[in-house]
Structure 1
């Protein structure tokens, strides 16, 4: 997927005000509109028209613009790009939807960043209540694997994009306290009633929906409610078998390592994954760790072991 520099497309600096963005868009959309480009350059003009429309779709909206700016200015137009993990965490979006432009005509870059995000679609859906409720807001929060196991309460800082009096996008920060349910998993949502946008008149305030993401933890991998963890063992434990105490997100457990265990072997603990009505399993994945040679005696022991066993693990390759 190619990175798109929306500011470059509109011929603007990243500090441009909303009025400057609007003026640049109007100028370029008239220049590249299909109705005024019917000659041999029509196809190129149509491509530029779509690029200008897409750039304006993002930069005219303070929420989309703030999220886009979060990616930073180090990317070059046309450069191969993939959004960093959880690039949008902590941003609070109102779900204001799109302009009259058709987002299905936009690039895969736009699609990856915005079209699938719950905070950027929908909106009020044409409601005509006398006392309409406030808009629902959306944000992503990142929790630790231990919190998914045990639950708990934490404070999170959310950043809400707004326009200042000069037309620049600024981030207003607020702190919220969240009760994290035991057994919550990646992609689930926590609803905070009345924590969205205030309503007009006597309507109810909108709700705040928090999408859960799990913080990456070295040596662990999560798949739904199943958890995979690296199990470092010594060569003698792997060869001879052993009873081993293991620290897991759910507490310490004792396991029996069978003889001749190889790297990659999985030992399953049913029901010790992330809790739930149907709890997941915990898989300890064997990883043989070689002790370092730090003394002459250690080197001597390794040499003696090599001589005594006379073992060639590459014999099956004919070498």
Structure 2
């Protein structure tokens, strides 16, 4: 699988603001729209631009993508790191299975899993999902551990910043890889006085 540099695809710097990204996307989308452009490969380029925008205009996905660092080159052979996504909170509906299927394998390998998990849950507030790593002994015997999570937000300048919080998590005895720990009320706040969503931690 090839690495995709979404910043280069949109022609923006890694420090670009949300407005910079939106402006670049609109310009390129008009240029390469299949109904307008006669250039060879315009449709593929249009899809690639849409995929890049899907990631970079979303604070959550952009912050997670940025954790890969700038050392990767476009087209370089890529495999997600073993700890990919650990400690990041993703809201419900971050990406749907249909969207993941319409984009590249690179996109699906990074973001497809969160959308698929999120489709099966319901809550008045947005549910959050995060992947965590625990010690084998804790999974076998059970324990209470402090888990630090990072949630991306946009600052006043439209740049992505990470806000951290630490939660005391009860790890059930006999927990296995891939299972979820549900923390009631630790998701996004509800609207109009509705209760908050839940936080699901994937081990």
Change (3 A) 1:66 1:120: farther
Preserved CA contact (<8 Å) 2:145 2:169: yes
- 1:40-95 residue CA offsets vs partner (Å, 9 max, x unmatched): x34x1111111100000000100010110011110000000001101210001112
1:27 is aligned to 2:27: yes
For 1:20 and 1:119, the matched residues in 2 are separated by 30
User: Aligned ranges for residues 194-205 of structure 1 at < 5 Å?
Assistant: 194-205=185-196
1 or 2, which has the higher strand percentage?
A: 1
Deviations 1:85-114 (A, max 9, x none): 012100011124349x94322111001111
Q: Which stretches in structure 2 are left out of the alignment for 5+ residues?
A: none
- Of 174, 180, 186 in structure 1, the residue corresponding to residue 171 of structure 2 is 180
Q: Call closer, same or farther: CA 1:87–1:135 in 2, change over 3 Å.
A: same
Residues 125 and 197, structure 2, Cα contact 8 Å, conserved in 1:
yes
Structure 1 residues not aligned, in runs of 5+? 126-131, 213-319
RMSD: 2.0
What are the within-5 Å matches in structure 2 for residues 161-172 of structure 1?
A: 161-172=152-163
Residues in 2 aligned to 1:123 and 1:183: alpha-carbon distance in whole angstroms: 24
TM-score (ref. length: structure 2): 0.93
Partner of 2:79: 82
Is residue 146 from structure 1 mapped to residue 137 from structure 2 by the alignment? Answer: yes
CA distance in 1, matches of 2:2, 2:190: 40
In structure 2, distance between residues paired with 1:209 and 1:121: 9
CA separation of 1:19/1:160 partners in 2, compared to 1, >3 Å: closer, same or farther?
Answer: same
1:150–1:98: structure 2 CA closer, same or farther, 3 Å change rule? closer
Residue from 189, 192, 195 that aligns with 2:183: 192
Are the aligned partners of 2:100 and 2:111 in contact in 1 as well (CA < 8 Å)? no
Work out the CA distance in 2 between the residues paired with 1:156 and 1:13: 33
CA shift at 1:120, angstroms? 7.9
Is the alpha carbon distance of 1:193 and 1:203 closer, same or farther for their aligned partners in structure 2, counting shifts above 3 Å?
same
2:199 is aligned to 208
Report the TM-score when normalising by structure 1: 0.60
**As a proportion of its length, which structure holds more helix?**
2
Contact kept? 1:123, 1:135, Cα under 8 Å: no
The equivalent residue for 1:66 is 63
Query: How many Å apart are 1:24 and its aligned residue?
Result: 0.2
Distance between the aligned counterparts of 1:186 and 1:176, measured in 2? 20
